[in-house]
Structure 1
């Protein structure tokens, strides 16, 4: 998580954008290329893919993210119940996962659903685990009944410290030491600094994760350093802080006034050109005495989290098992 001038985000893409905005505020004519950070764009209009690679300690220091790969899928209509878009997003997610996982035929995968299943915006991880094709037990006890290409996958939703009294990282470490997976995939809800990315963005990272860091509740890191095996993190921003929401709303109001104004366009243009991060800082200072660090989520979060959890689960199912299609997954889970 980057936290600078009280700007918080779990997304590497937003951390990169934040640093670019700071450089532009200093007078840069164009968005600067940051040393040690490589950005690549792909995808379609419906599914925009951005790959951020932090290649050096300089890049790590500039955007506040460990060296590694960060893939962001931005799907503005992800919240909608569109079957075609759902299938396309599952396939796009699985393709990016295959690129980053580097699995062998016999790789054992442990999927960890992080979060509190009693709090809907934080229940993404547990909901994903419930939609997975878990096969490790089948390959161990009835291997002849398992199709070729199916890898041993196991899953757990360990809860949170407030429920179990145990650090989640400690639980995961104990499981890893027992079953010795080749890779751990951790699913968690994230925080964003832009409203339009809430429930519409999926991030994949090969650098591990610190549960709760996006809302200032940092817990034990789950990574290669702590577990001894590679950790792939998948997250979706499900919440945004009140200051960000106010900041985005003010920008939308200014845009609307600027488009409709017959006079005073210069005044509205001046308001629009105020540095976004300075405006955020001011809003946060004004709100602090009244609401503190208020975290907000959309009212339709129940349906949206269910839908996104299904996308991630099936993206994982396709990526983790060779030759598996969405139809195969649906038959297996029936």
Structure 2
């Protein structure tokens, strides 16, 4: 089934649902911090890579409480968890430089996560160069860019980032982008951190040039939040729930029961896509409160990045700098 998802935890779930067996070459562990669930998916072998359709590496999923976007204290808690998980992956000395890239189109709300995060970061590289005596040695130089999208700039995002990397030579790149999920309940409530880079636009079927250590020569950490779901996937899941309920209430052994059990899920998915596509194309759906949610999630991610990149400062000191 061509279900669109950028989340490693969902790719694992999809494989195990279809194959009815545990995936090989993949290690999964979970932990709980307060009301925040953390799932660590490690793809260890080429077999796991083939089955998951994702490169070998680490994918950390943080599930936020549903009310996070409306509760400042919970937002802070999620930021601290994000900072802790990021710090496990970041290997930087005090003098090394981090480049944060906010991917996406700032003119389209569900795709504006990256640019919004960049606007809330503690940027220090220029100040460390101009007034070094005014800054503690423990403060790391951080720079950022929101390069836009091909349709606005006429340039591949990778080309822009590559030019910057060649000039300033950062030691780490952190990319933030909006993702696609296969489930509505994960939209705007899940943060994924990956060590294998990112292909902008892949979640909505518009894959661009890969941004990764392989293509840039610098370690790349990708942070993403699913902000959209494929309409065909919603329709497919809804029909599955209806069929499961009908099977549960049908009498076993009867012709109607056998007919329901014989429905091929792959064929059903293709049929749904074939029916919807002439009318809505590759429609992606996002919740109506997306404006509020993108603003709050961008604060959560920006705070998490700020804390992880500037461990010598408290969150209060970082907030004062940004203000």
TM-score, with length taken from structure 2: 0.91
- 3-state DSSP class of the match of 1:203? strand
- Would the alpha carbon gap of residues 318 and 272 (structure 1) be closer, same or farther in structure 2, given more than 3 Å must change? farther
Residue of structure 2 equivalent to 1:9: 5
Q: Secondary structure at the match of 1:19?
A: helix
Q: Secondary structure at the residue paired with 1:323?
A: coil
1:7 is paired with a residue whose SS is coil
Q: Name the residue aligned to 1:179.
A: 168
Distance 2:321 2:148 in 1: 26
Partner of 1:170: 159
> Is 1:153 matched up with 2:153?
no
1:80 is the counterpart of 2:76: no
1:84–1:142 Cα change, 3 Å: same
- The alignment status of 1:328 with 2:282, answered yes or no, reads no
Describe the SS at the equivalent of 2:210: coil
Following TM superposition, by how much is the alpha carbon of 1:299 offset from its aligned partner in structure 2, in angstroms?
1.2
Distance (whole Å) between structure 2 residues aligned to residue 296 and residue 155 of structure 1: 29
Q: Which residue of 217, 221, 243 maps to 2:210?
A: 221
* Number of the residue aligned with 1:108: 97
Cα 1:73–1:277, aligned 2, differ >3 Å: closer, same or farther? farther
1:51 equivalent among 34, 40, 43: 40
Cα deviation digits, residues 201-226 of structure 1 (max 9, x gap): 10100101100011110111111111
Matched residue SS, 1:9: coil
Q: Is the 8 A contact 1:195 1:244 kept in 2?
A: no
Residues 102/291 of structure 1: CA separation in 2 closer, same or farther (3 Å cut): same
Report the alpha carbon displacement of residue 198 of structure 1 after superposing the two structures with TM.
Answer: 0.7
The one of 94, 98, 115 equivalent to 2:83 is: 94
Answer whether contact 2:95 2:141 (CA < 8 A) is retained. yes
Among 308, 311, 320, the alignment partner of 1:319 is: 308
Name the structure 2 match of 1:194: 183
Q: Does 1:290 align with 2:286?
A: no
State TM-score, norm by structure 1: 0.88
1:246 offset after TM fit, Å? Answer: 2.0
The 2-side partners of 1:132 and 1:319 are apart by: 12
